[in-house]
Every structure is written in structure tokens, then in C-alpha cells.
Amino acid sequence: MTPAAAGFQARARAAVCDPHLGAALLTATGKFGAGRLAVLETLPQADRVRDHARRIRAHTIAALDTYLARFAEAAERRGARVHWAPTAADATRIVVEIARSHGAALAVKSKSMVTEEIALNDALAAAGVRVVETDLGEFIVQLAADRPSHIIVPIIHRTKEDVAALFRAKLGASDDEVAGIPAMTALARRTLRREFLSADIGISGANFAVAETGSVCVVTNEGNGRLTTSAPRVHVALVGIERIVPTMEDLGVLLQLLARSATGQKLSVYTSIITGPRRRPGAGDAAAAGGEPDGPDEVHIVLVDNGRSRILASPSAEILCCIRCGACLNVCPVYRVIGGHAYGGIYPGPVGSVFEPARDRADGPSPLPHASSLCGACREACPVRIDLPRLLLGLRAEPASVRDAPWWLRTALAGYAFIATRPPLFRMAARLGRIVTRWWARDGWIRRLPGPLAAWTACRDFPALAAHSFNERWRARRTR
């Protein structure tokens, strides 16, 4: 188990009791969840599109080696340089070497979860390269020496008042410059504009990489993505190997779902498709015979494995179909209470509770698969219909995970299994539970549970069992 995962219970306990965090999470996730439902209604035959997207992702992951080779060949044919990074250390070494070969002192960076995963900023800083995050949320995270807590919305755990205080402390902002969100955005834009114009290298992730053309697709809601990938003379794109799609037509299908699921938009503001460096005059490209004045002279694409091949060979391979929209986080009742930092890894929520333990199997069992109510909301929200509850149950059922559970939980579950498989005993236990909990409750709620169960009532009450079970109500209804 990783040290980050080992402290999950303590971090979750602190998060549950933080009303400021809870209010910020519920406001933001509620907004994104409602937006997703509303905008999906504007997509004709949305369910059929989701089914088609599911088939595209499943087919690609099943033939990943073929499509990776096809992508690398097409990208290099169009002038990009493709690098293979089996581990995080390999990926950071490659990027550091590219930066050093160009004497880079400043790198601007667009939002990228895979660069968070490999700790790229730390590696570049150690090599003497200053890295500036240019996504507004990531810029705020960097100023605060914080880390992202959501796949799409890095500062979902912060309010605008938090950001105003941060800008005053770190940027010397005046009251007028933090008077509202537009004013703070304008301040960040002015600050970052200088960095874009001075940067030696631009670093981005990629939402998708198209095998057919060797293109990388970067989807953002801010102009920083395009400035990062076109203003500096060198562009480095780091791409998880699972982000491949076979064709441009397939990319179009997935883009119809990505923004709708992530932020409740029909399409993100900026969808950039980058195919190699800028064309030079006389390069033989009829479409750019006179050359292209803008864009980088070099494009480097680093294909990052970092445990993904291990996932591909495991029962959790379906998680590689994820398109990183964050919809599962926005509907998860656990994430909506504890936020992303409690998970301890880079990827929080239901997707992280599968991806992180599946990728880090050598570190022993993780508590993250147990951070779920198994309500199925994540499966319903997933645009490519990943069966997240099934994957979570699979990780929970692994022998090491079972052995790692507290003794009292193993004993309680064994007792529950014995009773639940014997209907007369189950009915008797249910009646006894109703009597005890209703006697114990005040106004229908139990303020404190005994023993280890007290963790539940430390920050919230527990409801007494209903006066009549579902079966009793059903029988009474049929009698009427």
C-alpha cells in the first residue's frame, strides 16, 4: 500500500468534518451534474452515441499495440518525434533531456493529469527549468503550493474568496483586481501573458491521440492550451498510451461526449488538433506550400506507460476505456463529501479508486476500492459505460484486500453473510434492529453509534431503521 493511500481514513475523516470543503464540493458537483443531464438531452440518440463510444474504446484497448504503432508511424511521418516511456522516470528523463538540449530556462504548461502522475514539474525544477502552470485552476494550485483535487476542475475545493485571498498574498493584488471572478481572471491573464511570450518550451497533455493521422487533440476552455502548444519553439505532448483513438471519425464521436460529460457544454471552447510541427516553405505539403508562420519548430510526443500495460493484462483493463471527463466524480456520494485530496493519489473518485490500485499493485492492497457506496451512479454517468462498481468489487475481493480489512469488519461481514442467507434469521434480525435503533434514536436519528461505527456519527447522524420493511409494505399493499 502506498503511503498516500495508507492515510486515507484520517484524511477522509478530516474532510467529512470540514463544512467549508463540503459546501464548495456540493455546489460545484451539483452544478456540473445538472449541466451534464441538461446538455445530454441536446444530443440526438444520446444512448446510441454512448454505446458507439463504448465500442470504440473497447476495440482500441483490445488492439492497443496495433494502434500505438500506427500512431507513432503517422506522427513521425508528419515531422513529430515520438518517444516511448515505460516508466515515470523514463518520461521525466526524456522531457528533461529535451529541455536541456534547447537550453530551456522557462516552460509553460497546459493542464495535464499525466504530468501530475509522473511529477514532471519537480523533475524539471531539479534540472533548473522553471515551470509555469497556465490553466487558471492549475495556476492557482501552483501559487498555493497545493495540488489538484478533481480531474477537470483542479480547484473545486476552493471558493472565489479563497482565490482572492491567495492573489492578494502571492500576486500583491489590489481590491479592484480581486473584486470578482472577471477581475481575477484578467489579472491571471496579464500575469501569464508575459510567460507565454518568454517561454522556451511548451508542455501539454492530450485528451486523445489519433492513430490514423498521428495527431494529438488538446481540449480546453481557456486559450492557454493553444498558446502553450504554438507560441514556444518546442512543444512536448505527454500522452498516456490508452488515449489512442483509431480515426478522426472516432475522435468526433468521443468529442460529442467529452465536454457534455465533463462541464455540461456541447463542445469545449478550444479543441486543438495538432499534427506535427509547423510546415516550412517547400516541405512538399501542397496545403502549406508557402510554409506556416506560426507554431513550434519541433513537436515531441512522449507515450507514457507507467503501469498501464500492467492494468491491460489485469481484470481491471476496462478502466483504460476512461476518457477522463470526471463525470463519475461529480455524482459519487463519497467524492462529493470528502473531495479529491482525501484519496491521496493523482486520480480521485471512482475512476481513481480503480486506476490507482490497479496501477500500483506492487504496493499491496489499497483502501480506495472501499471508498464507494456501490450505488451505481458512476456507471450511469460514465459516457463510455465503464462498469465501475464491478471493477471496485473485483479489487475488494482480492485475497490481499480481504486480509487487510479490520478484524471487526471481517467478523461483521461473516455474521451478516450467515444471517442474510437464512431468511427466517434475516427477518428476525431486521425486526430486532428496528426495535433497537428506534429505541436508541431521538427524533428518528441516532447521534452516536458504538465502537468502530462511531466513525459514521462523528460528523453526521445515522437514521433509525424504518418501522416497516419493504416486504411488509409490499404485502400490505397487495392485501389492500
The range of the structural domain enclosing residue 22 comes to 1-33+319-405
Question: Would you mind telling me the total number of residues written for the chain in this entry?
Answer: 480
Q: What is the DSSP string of 304-368?
A: E-TTHHHHHTSTTGGGGG-----HHHHH-TTHHHHTTGGG-SSS-HHHHHHHHHHHTGGG---SG
Residue 70 sits in the same domain as residue 123: yes
Domain with 240 in it: what CATH number? 3.40.50.10420
Find out whether 229 and 274 touch, Cβ atoms under 8 Å: yes
Full-model pTM: 0.89
In this structure, the answer to whether residues 61 and 48 fall within a common structural domain is yes
Instruction: Give CA 291 to chain center in angstroms.
Output: 38
Residues 187 and 80 both lie in one domain: yes
The answer to whether residues 146 and 231 belong to one domain is yes
243 and 102 belong to one structural domain: yes
Encode 381-415 in three state secondary structure. HCCCCCCHHHHHHHHHCCHHHHHHCCHHHHHHHHH
> By CB neighbour count within 10 A (0-12 exposed, 13-18 middle, 19+ buried), where does 294 fall?
exposed
Name the domain count of the chain. 3
Residue 312 located in a structural domain: no
Amino acid symbol at 153: V
Whether 337 is in a domain gets the answer yes
- 276 lies in some domain: yes
Same domain, 273 and 230: yes
CA distance 43 to 51: 13
State residue 285's pLDDT score: 56
Is there a single domain that holds both residue 229 and residue 340? no
Domain finish residue from 280, 306, 332 = 306
Query: Which residue has cell 461529480?
Result: 330
The pLDDT score that the predictor gives to residue 286 is: 47
Is 350 in the same domain as 472?
Answer: no
Question: Which residues on neighbouring strands pair with residue 298, listed in sequence order?
Answer: 234
81 plus 221 within the same structural domain: yes
Q: Identify whether 261 is part of a domain.
A: yes
Last residue of a domain, one of 361, 384, 405: 405
Instruction: Select from 306, 332, 347 the last residue of a domain.
Output: 306
Count Cα atoms within 13 angstroms, Cβ side, for 246. 15
- Rg (Cα) of the chain, in Å, rounded? 25
Residue pLDDT tens, the chain, 480 long: 455 556 888 899 899 889 999 999 999 999 999 999 999 999 999 999 999 999 999 999 999 999 999 999 999 999 999 999 999 999 999 999 999 999 999 999 999 999 999 999 999 999 999 999 999 999 999 999 999 999 999 999 998 999 999 999 999 999 999 999 999 999 999 999 999 999 999 999 999 999 999 999 999 999 899 999 999 999 999 999 999 999 999 999 999 999 999 999 999 999 999 999 998 776 555 455 567 788 899 999 999 999 999 999 999 999 999 999 999 999 999 999 999 999 999 999 999 999 999 988 656 678 899 999 999 999 999 999 999 999 999 999 887 777 777 888 888 889 999 999 999 999 899 899 889 888 888 888 999 988 888 887 887 888 988 888 888 889 889 887
Q: How far apart are CA 159 and CA 169, in angstroms?
A: 16
Answer whether residue 100 is part of any domain: yes
Separation between Cα atoms, residue 221 and residue 238, nearest integer Å: 19
* Same domain as 456, residue 335: no
Q: Rounded CA gap, 31 and 376, in Å? A: 20
> What are the two backbone dihedrals, phi and then psi, of residue 300, each rounded to the nearest 5 degrees?
-110, 130
175 lies in some domain: yes
Which of 305, 133, 115 has its CA nearest to residue 205? 115
Residue 266 lies in a domain: yes
433 in helix, strand or coil? helix
Residues 356, 389 within the same domain: yes
313 in a structural domain? no
Same structural domain, 350 and 251: no
